[in-house]
Structure 1
Amino acid sequence: MSQQMLKKVLREKKQRMTAQRELILKVFLESNGKLMSLDDVYMQIRRRKNHKTSKMTIKRGIELLEELGIIRKIDFDDGVVRYELIDDVTDEVNAIFICENCGKAVKMEVSKEAIKNLLPKKDIEIKDFELKIYGICTECQV
C-alpha cells in the first residue's frame, strides 16, 4: 500500500494523515515484508533523527492502521504481537519462521504443492494451511 492509498483510506474514514501515521506506514513499507512488533517499529522510528514520537502514539497509530485493514496482527502466543503490511497480491500468510533466540519472525511463501509433497498420501486436497517454523536465525547463529 502506498502513502497515497493510505491518505485516501484515512480521508474516507474521516481520519487525518499525521506525520506519525505516515512515519509508521513508511517503517512498514521499508520492512520488505518482515513482521514487526510495536517495539521494532518504535526502535526504527527512534533511530531517525528528530523523531521523538512516544511509544503510546505509535501503538495508537498501529491500532488505527490495523482497524483500517492496512496492517494485520499476527500472534504466535509467545507474548509478542507482531504486525505485517497487508500485501494486495498475497493476502494470506501461510508460513512463518520464528527465531527462538531473538524472536524475529519472517514471512515465507510456501506453495500448497510443496506441502502436499510432504504428506504421506498424495491424494489429499489442501484447502488452506498455516505453518510455523521454529529455529535459530542466521544472526543468532554467529
Structure 2
Amino acid sequence: MSQQVLKKVLRDKKQRMTAQRELILKIFMESKGRLMSLDDVYMNIRKRKNHKTSKMTVKRGIDLLEELGIIRKVNFEDGTPRYELIEEIENEPKVLFICENCGKAVKLDLDKDKIKSILPYENIEIKDFDLKIYGMCSECK
C-alpha cells in the first residue's frame, strides 16, 4: 500500500489526503507487520518533530483507514484493539506472539508447511489456521 494508492482511495471516497492521514499510513508501512494499538501510533507520532497531532485525530485517522480497508483491527483478550496494515496476500494464515505483560503483538512467519511439520499427524491437509502464542517478550523478561 503506497501513499498514491491511499490518495486515490480517499479521492474516490470524496475524502482529503491530510498530513496526519499520510503520517499514520507511513507509520503502519514502517511497522513491518507489527500490530499497533492506537497508543502505539500516537506515541510514534509524538516522537517525531513538528507533529502535534491529538490522540482523537489519530483515532479518526485509524478509523478511516480501517473503513477504507487499508488496515484491519485485531481484537485481543486484554480489550486493547491493535491494527495491522492489510498486505497484498489477504488470506494468509496468522501466527501472533502476544506479550502478556506489555501487550505487544508480533506476527510470526509460520506457513502451513512449518505448522504441518510440527503436528504429530501424517497425511493431513491444513486449509487455514489462526494461532496466538502468549508469553513474555525480551523487553519484559
TM-score (structure 1 length as normaliser): 0.93
Mapped contact 2:27–2:44 kept (Cα < 8 A): yes
Number of equivalences: 141
Matched, 1:13 2:13: yes
Matched AA of 1:110:
L
Counterpart of 2:94? Answer: 94
Mapped contact 1:93–1:107 kept (Cα < 8 A): no
Q: CA deviation at 1:44?
A: 0.5
Counterpart of 1:26? Answer: 26
Give the whole-Å Cα distance in 1 for the aligned partners of 2:140 and 2:54: 29
Which runs of 5 or more structure 2 residues have no equivalent in the other structure?
none
Counterpart of 1:3? Answer: 3
Q: Provide the identity percentage.
A: 72
Counterpart of 2:129? Answer: 129
The structure-2 alpha-carbon separation of the partners of 1:17 and 1:91, relative to structure 1 and needing over 3 Å to count, comes to farther
Q: CA deviation at 1:124?
A: 2.1
**Pairwise CA RMSD of aligned residues?**
1.3
TM-score (structure 2 length as normaliser): 0.94
Matched AA of 1:68:
L
- Specify the SS of the correspondent of 1:138: coil
Mapped contact 2:93–2:111 kept (Cα < 8 A): no
